[in-house]
Amino acid sequence: MYNAARAHLQTVRDLLRFAVSRFSEAKLFFGHGSDNAWDEAVYLTQHALHLPLDRLDPFLDARLTPAEIDAVLKLVEARVTTRKPAAYLTGEAWLGPWRFHVDERVIVPRSFIAELMPESLEPWIEYPELVHRALDLCTGSGCLAILLAQHYPDAEVDAVDLSPDALKVAAINVAEYGLQSRLRLLESDLFDAVEGETYDLIVANPPYVDAPSVAALPAEYLHEPELALGSGEDGLDATRAILENASRFLEPQGVLVVEIGHNRAVLEPQFPELPFTWLQTQSGDGFVFLLTREELVEAGY
């Protein structure tokens, strides 16, 4: 199919049409940075052609060289035949303007917390300089830890993960942002490696997919580390452990921010005494909660 296509595809517009058709025909699943065939085709084409990711129209009718056409078709073919998320094919993922190296040792970054820092936390953290120490639990590629360091420039940041392979990827990203002197990577099962430490801000994007959903995941998700997806039968094993221990690691005015996906209706009945504040994201207000140390302590945690 691809050899035949080469004879008829000449422009960026041609390649985008072809890619969208192939993705739709193959019934790919989108959920790792894009949610539809068009956006995925645009990203992969721009990446292959080394075009700016924020501009497409000026290039749509540009005629391409055979080598450029081959570069795009190679990515399109790989996306269809392997079902790998686009980020694993390009070796990068984006959270807003922030670029991160990724590979199959880490989950593809896609955190609601990223869009909340720092403005949405200002009612609880009035000034960025008030964050002297921050902790990122289940750091994966290190993306949230790096955003903490960027948004809170006076903070020393600890980032922990149970996977040594994930921490190797995180180290690449920390080095690319030049944060080695302020961001410490630690292999740890949640709080184990930071016993005795306290923080002004703790963020966590732990595994939170429940067991039935893990069993039904599309093929694209099966390329991601299983450790980073599921967390017990209801998806909340890690979240429960965080809630039961976080107050010991927070400063008196400290704040805890945790992402739990679609599990709000399951979580709240298990902790009726906790006054969760649900933060508004672009997708709704049920995906990320905030609690202060004071609220945790008053509830007996």
Q: What is the CATH number of domain 2-90?
A: 1.10.8
Question: What are the start and end residues of each CATH 3.40.50.150 domain in the chain?
Answer: 95-298
Cβ atoms of 275 and 287 within 8 Å: the answer is: no
Give the separation between CA 52 and CA 54, rounded to whole angstroms: 6
CATH architecture of 95-298: 3-Layer(aba) Sandwich (3.40)
Structure confidence at residue 73 as a pLDDT band (50, 70, 90):
very high
Cβ atoms of 276 and 291 within 8 Å: the answer is: yes
Task: Count how many residues are written for the chain.
Answer: 301
Give the separation between CA 275 and CA 27, rounded to whole angstroms: 42
- What percent of the chain is modeled with pLDDT above 90? 85
Name the average pLDDT for the chain: 94
Mean pLDDT of 199-217: 91
pLDDT of residue 227: 83
pLDDT of residue 53: 92
Question: What are the start and end residues of each CATH 1.10.8 domain in the chain?
Answer: 2-90
